[in-house]
Structure 1
């Protein structure tokens, strides 16, 4: 079962505060994303999220995200 799906509203810690945004996609293989190399697999996925405030994308592990 996926922890998050595209379109889910989530929050995460960002620079000492909470950021809120939307899940854009799930990453399940090593790739370049958001300006860095992302190590991911089907057993250890990561998620691309877009911040509501800045509009920028970031990549986070499921443990760093909370559903809103």
Structure 2
């Protein structure tokens, strides 16, 4: 699997969590500071993050590109 450098909405990805590998779908690229529930995401154009929906729980989370692997 390739490291995620240029992901787009709809891409299937996986990442490591304390419980093991988790899979999900990219919803969008974040390029400005944003909030997910009470969590602040410090995304910028130079350091974007990706909004990902987990496959099992359907929860949203932001991840740095280096943390995601395209499936």
Runs of 4+ in 1 over 3 A off after TM superposition: none
SS at 1:11's partner residue? Answer: strand
**What TM-score do the two structures reach when normalised by structure 1?**
0.90
Cα deviation digits, residues 17-68 of structure 1 (max 9, x gap): 0000100011101111243111011110000101111111111000000000
Q: How many residues align?
A: 67
What stretches of structure 1 of length at least 5 have no aligned partner?
none
**What TM-score do the two structures reach when normalised by structure 2?**
0.86
Larger RCO of the pair (alpha carbons < 8 Å, separation 6+): 2
Structure 2 match to 1:6? 9
Mapping of 1:1-68 within 5 angstroms? 3-68=6-71
CA RMSD across the alignment: 1.2
